[in-house]
Structure 1
Amino acid sequence: MKLYRSFATVGGLTMVSRVFGFIRDIAFAWAFGSGMVADAFNVAFRFPNLFRRLFGEGAFNSAFIPLFAKELEGNGKDEARAFAEEAMSGLFAVLIGLTIVAILTMPWLMYILAPGFAATPEKFDLAVLLTQITFPYLLCMSLVALFSGVLNTFGKFVESSSVSIVLNLTLLAAIFTGFALGFHNDPAGGIVQAIGVFVAGVLQLWLLIDGLRRNNFTLKLRRPRMTPRMWRLVKLGIPGVIAGGVTQINILIGTIIASMQGGAVSQLYYADRLYELPLAIVGIAIGVVLLPDVSRHLRAGNHEAVHDAQNRSLEFSMLLTFPAAVALAVVPQPIVSALFERGMFLASDTAATSALLAVFAIGLPGFVLIKVFSPSYFAREDTKTPMYYAMISLTANTLGSIGLFFLFRSYGWMPHLGIAVATTLGGLLNASLLYATLARRGDFVLDRRVKRTLPRIVLASALMGVVLWLVARTLSHHFGPEAAEWSRFLALFAIVGAGLITYAVAVFLTGALDRRQLRSFIKR
């Protein structure tokens, strides 16, 4: 089945990207830990990285792809090319202006992005400089997203799924370049990292331009014009970006609040990177592939195929997401310790990051379900309903993050744990609202297979969680501060292996997956 092959392509390349991303994060934690330079760079990278995820992981394309697909199906390749060029020219003009204004006003914007840094002038000034260097990245990434939408509509997913690999390899090279130049945990090392972000954006843009050329669909810049098609794109695009990017906006808000606690920005970043792995592999793969697939079926009037695609996406996502969520919630400390605890990343950082990761893990199914449900709205050119629900979730998360941050601090608890709690609840709220409306409209009807499979996936994941807890408890002495690094990795490998074997056996014993389905999936 083409849909599963596309999931495998996007998910597989995303997995490769995240492996390199983990290596990069391990190196970054070793080099910078959660000190001043790490906090400043993570704030500087958070804003352009927000745009990378908004645009590169499907939010912008929630508006662009249905309109581009409509032009392609209804008016042919030439008109589709003309629309893509209009969109590219308009986007380029707006973002050039935004980039110039942001760079010039960054000393004042930083009071919004990281108000807590104002108490430490050296950290504040470094964050301003690093953000000014990294900000042009969003211009490159936004154009990359548009080019990716074009290729995805044609069923080409390799180039768009490879851009994050380029980013991670470039930043990894920047870390070692800084060390080779003698820039250890100091501001100069952060500057090298920021330059690496800019270079990565240029390389990613070149990759997608080459992908379009190889698929005989090159685009040229035009004079920006507000045509009826562009008005339609703007009308759908703004709500679509808000709706599709609410998870990332929530994280940005959390970063702003966390800047008031030393080390909190970096600890939230490391926890975010860990739970983002299954979210990227599963949620983003489904979001990227499902939208053009559902859009094509709707244009053809094949509603049976639409419902099948939605149900299979839900089934596939939960088959992988539930066990990942259970694992991250049950054994966060061994994972964080083995991956990050070395160099400037201390045992105290492990304890704080592990607690944050466990809370984020509880919300992981909700974050993935947002990616599953949103394309059902976007393909029908309804971006307003998801936007309204995103705003409700965003408001709840913002108020909850602020309230819980100060509440937890007043009790002497880790204050940024309240941010993680609010972010998790906000994601679950958003997913619930999206599904309830789809079900009420009859646009997402659960079939018998999904109703039978989902409870069995939950049961299999729970059985795996028990085994993980027992194995981790038995091997806990391998994760102490004095434990050798090789010992931690071997112990983590044993825990992961036990979990994988247990879940594989459990899904067959419970009937969540049978051998016929597995053979069919592999064959497809």
Structure 2
Amino acid sequence: MLKKILSVGAWTLVSRVTGFARDVFTAAILGTGPMADAFVVAFRLPNNFRAIFGEGAFSNSFVPAYTRIEEQAGRSAAAEFQGRIASLLLVSTLAVTLAAILFMPQVVSVLAPGFGNEAGQFDLAVTLTRITFPYLPLITLATLYGAVLNAAGRFTAFAAAPILLNLVWIAALLAAPLFPSPAHAVAWGVTISGAAQLGVVWWAARRARLLARLRAIRLDPELRRFFRSLGPALIGSMGVQIAMFADTIIASTLPSGAVSSLFYADRIYQLPYGVIAIAAGTVLLPEMSRFIAAGEPDKAHAAQNRAMLLIWFMAAPFFAAFLTVPELIMQAFFARGAFTSASAEAAGAALLAYGVGLPAIVLIRSAVASFYARGDTATPLWASLTAIAVNVGFKIVLMGPLQQAGLALATSIGAWVNLGILMVLAVRSGRMVPDRRLLNALGGLTVATALMGAAMVLAEALADPYVAGVSRQLREPAKLVLVGLAGGAVYGLAALVLFKALGMRLRR
């Protein structure tokens, strides 16, 4: 499992690195002003719908169902199931896209009610969102074929496909003089990248002989069973996206730049989630599903414990960095061009608030696997909805005193509530069995993380003389490298001592 996680994580890391390059270009050209806020809304709307219909609800319901059908009824039955699901996804997402394009002014007025305060910003957001919305059906079908590949243990194509979004996005920015504005260029880049990503996973599924043709939509017993599983997962996934919509709605009423400050902080925050949590969850769910289907729950629990330890081992350094040097991180990555020091300060405050919830965010996918692997999508639904209610409530309370950082902190609080509910219910029902070694290792890694955070604070205070001779544009990146090396050395040494004391080897 470690090899598979590292393989998915490696491709995801390439995606995130190219994503950082894309965000650096975007920050330098768009900054955090009204045009950037309009584009963020235009990208977030189809992207959030994609998360509802695609990655979140669909994958968590489809992979266990597809795996079970293939195990019990054979590949032809699984292909029949895949073809009908593809037809359903195509019809539903095209309908949503057509309706959204027709009623886009009303949609944007609900999603970003504060945009009327800036001249031309509302009309720009409407135009840009109409351009980006076809991304939804394209990327949703890509998610289907990616899920089929994942269920078969082929993770590379789907993990690598998002790289195309970043490359096309950058190319669009470079071609910005050919468009009415840089925001128009990137909006077209988003839609074109959706077609490119669909092409990559479609071709990979075809080469692996896993691609099924579209079938007539017929509600047979398997499809009904799938919908019974999908319904709660869809509502739960909608809850998460509703909270993100709430961020956009509330941030649009704050001073200009709040929406894009949250966006840039979220881009950094998503690095450990995308590289570590999603990679581990992508591998863990089909693995647990196979063990559960084969009547071997002990092996499923062992795989889950191993995944959770690996996740925290790899995510803990990000947690330490987000809490101790958030503003330095934002300055090092984005402070150039239209992205000013004030922008870095605002985004850094949001990153710190997001960082509070990082441990919960990265562990939630492994926790929900306890339920999804058994076809139970209702329990995670109620956990998610409870957390969303807490999240939105805290957003309303914290937006005044903390501005965009309050919205991010509310997200973190909601994540901890979600994880807590899932863990309690899973352990009580015997669907999660954390052993003593896992608990000891997690506790020890927490100590190592605290030591790393202290080392980074000290290194930041002492680093200025060592970067004084570096050019002004590279000074903050050089300082971040020094601080990261100091913290990483302390964390690595402490973790090494921990694993040796516990008699553990990471690959085991």
Q: Considering the TM-score relative to the shorter chain, is it more than 0.5?
A: yes
Match of 1:162 in 2: 160
Cα deviation digits, residues 412-438 of structure 1 (max 9, x gap): xx4222111111100110000000000
- C-alpha displacement at 1:476, in angstroms? 5.1
Cα contact 1:55–1:61 (8 A) shared by 2: no
Match of 2:439 in 1: 451
Cα contact 1:272–1:357 (8 A) shared by 2: yes
2:423 corresponds to 1:435: yes
CA distance in 1, matches of 2:361, 2:143: 21
CA distance in 1, matches of 2:234, 2:420: 19
2:505 corresponds to 1:503: no
Equivalent in 237, 248, 258 of residue 251 of structure 2: 258
- C-alpha displacement at 1:253, in angstroms? 1.8
CA distance in 1, matches of 2:38, 2:320: 32
2:70 corresponds to 1:77: no
Cα deviation digits, residues 123-146 of structure 1 (max 9, x gap): 011001111111110101111111
Residues 199, 439 of structure 1: alpha-carbon distance in 2 compared, 3 angstrom cutoff = same
Equivalent in 131, 143, 146 of residue 145 of structure 1: 143
CA distance in 2, matches of 1:450, 1:65: 27
Name stretches of at least 5 consecutive residues in structure 1 with no aligned partner. Answer: 409-413
**What amino acid is aligned across from residue 266 of structure 2 in structure 1?**
D
2:86 corresponds to 1:98: no
CA distance in 2, matches of 1:75, 1:474: 64
Cα deviation digits, residues 397-416 of structure 1 (max 9, x gap): 1121122213x1xxxxx422
Summarize the alignment of residues 338-487 of structure 1 with structure 2, pairs less than 5 Å apart: 338-406=332-400, 408=401, 414-475=402-463, 484-487=472-475
Residues 472, 245 of structure 1: alpha-carbon distance in 2 compared, 3 angstrom cutoff = farther
Match of 2:271 in 1: 277
Over aligned residues, Cα RMSD in angstroms?
Answer: 1.9
2:115 corresponds to 1:122: no
> Which secondary structure does the structure 1 equivalent of 2:209 belong to?
coil
Cα contact 2:39–2:125 (8 A) shared by 1: yes
Residues 477, 227 of structure 1: alpha-carbon distance in 2 compared, 3 angstrom cutoff = farther
CA distance in 1, matches of 2:447, 2:500: 9
- C-alpha displacement at 1:219, in angstroms? 1.9
Cα deviation digits, residues 473-513 of structure 1 (max 9, x gap): 12258999x97112222211111111221111110123378
CA distance in 2, matches of 1:200, 1:172: 11
> Which secondary structure does the structure 2 equivalent of 1:212 belong to?
helix
Residues 228, 339 of structure 1: alpha-carbon distance in 2 compared, 3 angstrom cutoff = same
- C-alpha displacement at 1:5, in angstroms? 1.4
Cα deviation digits, residues 331-358 of structure 1 (max 9, x gap): 1111110110010001111111111101
Match of 1:135 in 2: 133
> Which secondary structure does the structure 2 equivalent of 1:147 belong to?
helix
CA distance in 2, matches of 1:112, 1:512: 55
CA distance in 2, matches of 1:102, 1:391: 25
Match of 2:189 in 1: 196
Residues 438, 278 of structure 1: alpha-carbon distance in 2 compared, 3 angstrom cutoff = same
CA distance in 2, matches of 1:336, 1:506: 27
CA distance in 2, matches of 1:457, 1:41: 40
Cα contact 1:369–1:431 (8 A) shared by 2: yes
Cα contact 2:353–2:406 (8 A) shared by 1: no
- C-alpha displacement at 1:256, in angstroms? 1.6
**What amino acid is aligned across from residue 343 of structure 1 in structure 2?**
G
**What amino acid is aligned across from residue 151 of structure 1 in structure 2?**
L
Equivalent in 235, 240, 245 of residue 228 of structure 2: 235
**What amino acid is aligned across from residue 130 of structure 1 in structure 2?**
L
CA distance in 2, matches of 1:82, 1:460: 50
**What amino acid is aligned across from residue 201 of structure 2 in structure 1?**
L
CA distance in 1, matches of 2:503, 2:161: 35
Summarize the alignment of residues 197-212 of structure 1 with structure 2, pairs less than 5 Å apart: 197-212=190-205
Cα deviation digits, residues 224-256 of structure 1 (max 9, x gap): 233332222222113213435654542332112
Equivalent in 262, 270, 280 of residue 268 of structure 1: 262
Equivalent in 80, 83, 86 of residue 84 of structure 2: 86
Cα deviation digits, residues 175-228 of structure 1 (max 9, x gap): 11115x3x6xxx621111110011000001111110111101222123323333
Cα deviation digits, residues 313-368 of structure 1 (max 9, x gap): 11111111222111111011111101100100011111111111011001001111
Cα contact 1:247–1:367 (8 A) shared by 2: no
Cα contact 1:367–1:427 (8 A) shared by 2: yes
CA distance in 2, matches of 1:497, 1:308: 33
2:266 corresponds to 1:291: no
Match of 1:44 in 2: 42
Name stretches of at least 5 consecutive residues in structure 2 with no aligned partner. Answer: none
Deviates more, 1:139-148 or 1:469-478: 469-478
Cα contact 1:57–1:284 (8 A) shared by 2: no
Equivalent in 321, 327, 330 of residue 327 of structure 1: 321
- C-alpha displacement at 1:53, in angstroms? 3.9
CA distance in 1, matches of 2:354, 2:500: 25
**What amino acid is aligned across from residue 364 of structure 2 in structure 1?**
I
Q: TM-score, normalised by structure 2?
A: 0.96
Equivalent in 95, 107, 110 of residue 109 of structure 1: 107
CA distance in 1, matches of 2:53, 2:204: 18
Match of 2:173 in 1: 175
Match of 2:482 in 1: 494
**What amino acid is aligned across from residue 240 of structure 1 in structure 2?**
A
- C-alpha displacement at 1:167, in angstroms? 0.7
Cα deviation digits, residues 99-132 of structure 1 (max 9, x gap): 1001100111111111111222410110011111
CA distance in 1, matches of 2:30, 2:480: 23
Residues 54, 5 of structure 1: alpha-carbon distance in 2 compared, 3 angstrom cutoff = farther
2:50 corresponds to 1:24: no
Deviates more, 1:359-368 or 1:486-495: 486-495
**What amino acid is aligned across from residue 79 of structure 1 in structure 2?**
A
Percent identity between the two aligned chains: 37
CA distance in 1, matches of 2:334, 2:67: 44
Residues 126, 329 of structure 1: alpha-carbon distance in 2 compared, 3 angstrom cutoff = same
**What amino acid is aligned across from residue 104 of structure 1 in structure 2?**
L
CA distance in 1, matches of 2:199, 2:130: 22
Cα deviation digits, residues 452-481 of structure 1 (max 9, x gap): 20110000111111110001112258999x
**What amino acid is aligned across from residue 224 of structure 1 in structure 2?**
I
Number of positions where the alignment pairs a residue of Structure 1 with one of Structure 2: 506
